[in-house]
Chains A and B, each alone.
Chain A
């Protein structure tokens, strides 16, 4: 049986929003080589989102299309993880000006890629053959993203006092948002019951092993788990997502159905 549309949108929205965040570095990366590498990761994620949106749109029928799903839904209709919508810097109030911080970007991508490398590997065995095919191509990309960000995490954590402090601060800031990974949404429960998708909690132990090993190697401290639970998967987002969507969607909404 096929995965529910909400499940596809959850995966697609998470990939697209993270791609948009990472793309903010395009032309502003710390060095040219890394600028290209981060842009490549964004393009991988946009590619994943496109396959998922196209598949979801085919299931929805009518005038649904990948562009309509990406550009004409508002923040409360997005199902992305809260982690991926946060800005590329530490906690600040509202619109306070703040320089972007590469450690925040790297730690966020690392925590996310560690999840996706596990999730895509499991989804290759989904009874939804289309989703399984998307997973088979995406798992290779996720493993590379994990390698890329894991390498930087090690260099930042085990680097200078400044880079260590920034990596630890990013880890402390972002860690609470990973709790959302393990709390299933209705779409995840339905995909688990009917499409052979893994229950989110079943990936927790393997994720812990992988992340703990990388954190320890980088001489960083694993933050304690706390009671905070965000609910991006349920459409309840931080204040940051609507600003991100406004920037991403403005051209498509100003010129609907424009073509190149």
Chain B
């Protein structure tokens, strides 16, 4: 497939909210000339099997990402702080599942 347009078309990140879902979840990316077209193409690429009822598209260039090299100092310190998990409470039986 010849894809010369992809050199010119920016990349978009696609977020879809499912029928039961409360939040939009990242489901992939695509190339499109502008936001309106990205939304339309996202409908055809990512919701053709009834995956969603709402779509967001965001320019990939607008996302600021953490640096994988910083992984150790950003995330490893949380590894041994198990007291931050709300798992040390005794719940009454009739409260059911939380």
A contact set with B: CB distance below 8 Å? 27-37, 40, 147-148, 151, 155
The segment from B17-25, B36-44, B58-66, B85-93 that touches chain A is B36-44
Instruction: Say whether A35 contacts B1, CB under 8 Å.
Output: yes
Instruction: Say whether B1 contacts A34, CB under 8 Å.
Output: no
Max chain A C-beta neighbours (<10 A), residue from B1, B5, B6, B30: B1
Q: A37 to B40: give the CA distance in the assembly, Å.
A: 9
Determine the chain A residues whose CB is within 8 A of the CB of B33 once the complex forms: 155
Q: A151-B36, A155-B33 are in contact. Are A32 and B3 (CB under 8 A)?
A: yes
Q: A207 to B50: give the CA distance in the assembly, Å.
A: 31
Q: A27 to B33: give the CA distance in the assembly, Å.
A: 21
Instruction: Say whether B1 contacts A27, CB under 8 Å.
Output: yes
Number of residues of chain B lying within 8 A (CB) of chain A:
17
Determine the chain B residues whose CB is within 8 A of the CB of A35 once the complex forms: 1
Min C-beta distance of A116 to chain B, whole Å: 19
Min C-beta distance of A33 to chain B, whole Å: 4
Determine the chain B residues whose CB is within 8 A of the CB of A29 once the complex forms: 1
Instruction: Say whether A151 contacts B1, CB under 8 Å.
Output: no
Min C-beta distance of B48 to chain A, whole Å: 6
Q: A31 to B44: give the CA distance in the assembly, Å.
A: 13
Q: A103 to B37: give the CA distance in the assembly, Å.
A: 17
Min C-beta distance of A46 to chain B, whole Å: 14
Determine the chain A residues whose CB is within 8 A of the CB of B31 once the complex forms: 31-33
Q: A147-B40, A151-B37, A151-B40 are in contact. Are A33 and B1 (CB under 8 A)?
A: no
Instruction: Say whether B41 contacts A37, CB under 8 Å.
Output: yes
Min C-beta distance of A133 to chain B, whole Å: 20
Min C-beta distance of A191 to chain B, whole Å: 32
Q: A27 to B44: give the CA distance in the assembly, Å.
A: 15
A-B contact pairs, 12 of them (CB 8 A): A30-B2, A31-B31, A32-B3, A33-B41, A36-B44, A36-B45, A37-B41, A40-B44, A40-B48, A147-B40, A151-B36, A151-B37
Determine the chain B residues whose CB is within 8 A of the CB of A34 once the complex forms: 41
B32 interface residue (CB < 8 Å to A): yes
Instruction: Say whether B44 contacts A33, CB under 8 Å.
Output: yes
Q: A33 to B41: give the CA distance in the assembly, Å.
A: 6
Determine the chain A residues whose CB is within 8 A of the CB of B5 once the complex forms: 30-31
Q: A29 to B2: give the CA distance in the assembly, Å.
A: 8
Q: A148-B40, A151-B37 are in contact. Are A36 and B48 (CB under 8 A)?
A: yes
- Closest A residue to B5 using CB positions: A31
Q: A33 to B29: give the CA distance in the assembly, Å.
A: 10
Instruction: Say whether B32 contacts A33, CB under 8 Å.
Output: yes
Min C-beta distance of B36 to chain A, whole Å: 7
Q: A31 to B41: give the CA distance in the assembly, Å.
A: 11
- Closest B residue to A30 using CB positions: B5
5 nearest A-B pairs in the assembled complex, by CB-CB distance: A37-B44, A33-B41, A33-B30, A40-B44, A36-B44
Determine the chain B residues whose CB is within 8 A of the CB of A37 once the complex forms: 40-41, 44-45
Q: A31 to B31: give the CA distance in the assembly, Å.
A: 9
Given contacts A30-B2, A148-B40, 16 further A-B contacts (CB under 8 A): A27-B1, A30-B5, A31-B3, A31-B5, A31-B6, A33-B30, A33-B31, A33-B32, A37-B40, A37-B41, A37-B45, A40-B44, A151-B36, A151-B37, A151-B40, A155-B33
